Structure 1
């Protein structure tokens, strides 16, 4: 069986490290975020869409505009222009729909920490070939079968792929989008993550873009409701001794624009920028210029560092 990445930490610049076991960036508690962000020459993490295609039609999905897949040569050019970036999410759409996905991983894993957000439905196709090369697979799952089927897609297509990734020794995380109608399912999501030995569960609020434009207003919970839900999960985690770390991202001014998303045509965008069309703010194109040039004109550096270092989101780490 292929082995998972053997290192437990990878030291990056400015006192920041990546903790593989915890699947997160780490820094001393007294690190001055603004100073670190201003001193950085590249982002900590980027999201690279290797496809816009997907076999699900999630009710919250923002990726409804299609673009052609980048070629392997284009992806290698992007990789060269991402020199120095700590982590690259090979994302989509559904990235594992690409038959050459393992070749894409081979392009990136010698140079970056690689993580893969996926619905896992094509996990059987790729698990053995990407094992030992990716830090973890982040599985989109809203909890029990009925909830996942209603919000995202087919639970019974997801789970065989999850088991294939797990059998190959690939570390797992779960990611769930939170509606008002899914609040009661959240403890079950954490229980599933615990059974799967997942490193963390990320809870994310939906944004009104794409399919989510059609969601009724009552499905969007307030920040106060999100705080209460996270507090309940934290208490249940302690009571039931669940092991996964917990994360909750709310869309506050401190989190605006914190992600750098690279589309299949190389366009780098800050996301989510609340007053921008489609919540995207164009930064440049990594098929044409290096990421350090794009980083210089990126105006959300402090938000980027704050989010990825867990300072602007709710967090409960493993062992806490």
Structure 2
């Protein structure tokens, strides 16, 4: 334990993924500088990262939530089939909804960890106490949704104190963390506090994302959506403050430009696999196939956003600042 009573989190190491690709301590991918993007794309027979929704259920009702339909949870047998069809994908997000609502979440982690993927878990952490021990040593990082200080998180997402209790449980089990915050105009002044919280928690990265016009976000006041220029100014301001306050986590900000369209591949609980967000598609989903019926390598062949996918996950089409290493670390 540290002097502040916080558990010590193990060092977040760089992992060689092959083909010139590494997974870094900032919880993102990096490419050998000697490799050009076109050369790297020619080597790819599947995606770098896939979001697998193991449930659509959630115990929060976030203002920006993009879910528009409920589906039954996939069975373990179905998830095993999806896992087999995701062979060769470097990173998989076991996502939701809120994935930790599944009582069998530990079994799902074991299933995917045994396949050798880098596993990441986007979560509100409220069920962290129940699942932390089963995740330990198998999950590369948990990505915690947090919009900053208590009042802001309570207004935008859910119970801040419940989230932080789960965060402590995850850290107590030695699970590395990242933070993810959706940026509204009314939360711009709190972004610096999200960075400060991330620094105190020693997270790998703090990621900011602009909301998409889908699901609950359709009810947001139009004034809450900031422009690309405003996002750039906000990120530059964070970089200035980062220098002043010596924040260590990597910083990321994703906005919805043509270069980022369709960059995510999302597998729904029924196996339907989509490019997302595709700006003129219904629900922003462009169907690609069904992972229960064919391997991801076949789905990848008909995926038309390959360059956007690679550029985003390599940090080339978003705003980025790398993780600072502490002296002596």
| TM-score of the two chains, using structure 2 as the length reference | 0.94
- C-alpha RMSD over aligned residues: 1.6
Query: What does residue 198 of structure 2 align with?
Result: 193
Find out whether 1:316 has 2:321 as its counterpart.
yes
What are the ranges of 5 or more consecutive residues in structure 2 without an aligned counterpart? 2-7
Q: Provide closer, same or farther for how the CA distance between residues 293 and 165 of structure 1 changes in structure 2, counting only shifts above 3 A.
A: same
Q: 1:178 pairs with 159, 166, 183, which one?
A: 183
Does the CA-based 8 Å contact 1:175-1:201 persist in structure 2? yes
Bigger Cα displacement from structure 2, 277-286 vs 4-13: 4-13
Does the CA-based 8 Å contact 1:47-1:91 persist in structure 2? yes
Find out whether 1:216 has 2:221 as its counterpart.
yes
Task: Give how far 1:63 is off.
Answer: 1.1
Aligned residues: 318
Q: 1:94 pairs with 94, 98, 110, which one?
A: 98
Does the CA-based 8 Å contact 1:49-1:93 persist in structure 2? yes
Query: What does residue 46 of structure 1 align with?
Result: 50
Q: 2:211 pairs with 203, 206, 210, which one?
A: 206
Q: 1:255 pairs with 237, 260, 264, which one?
A: 260
Runs of 4+ in 1 over 3 A off after TM superposition: 3-7
> Which SS does the other structure have where 1:187 is aligned?
helix
Does the CA-based 8 Å contact 1:90-1:116 persist in structure 2? yes
Does the CA-based 8 Å contact 2:10-2:176 persist in structure 1? no
> Which SS does the other structure have where 2:252 is aligned?
strand
What are the ranges of 5 or more consecutive residues in structure 1 without an aligned counterpart? none
| C-alpha separation in 1, matches of 2:204 and 2:318 | 17
Task: Give how far 1:7 is off.
Answer: 8.2
Q: 1:272 pairs with 273, 277, 293, which one?
A: 277
Q: 2:33 pairs with 29, 36, 39, which one?
A: 29
Q: 1:107 pairs with 101, 106, 111, which one?
A: 111
> Which SS does the other structure have where 2:266 is aligned?
strand
Does the CA-based 8 Å contact 1:119-1:139 persist in structure 2? yes
| C-alpha separation in 2, matches of 1:255 and 1:292 | 21
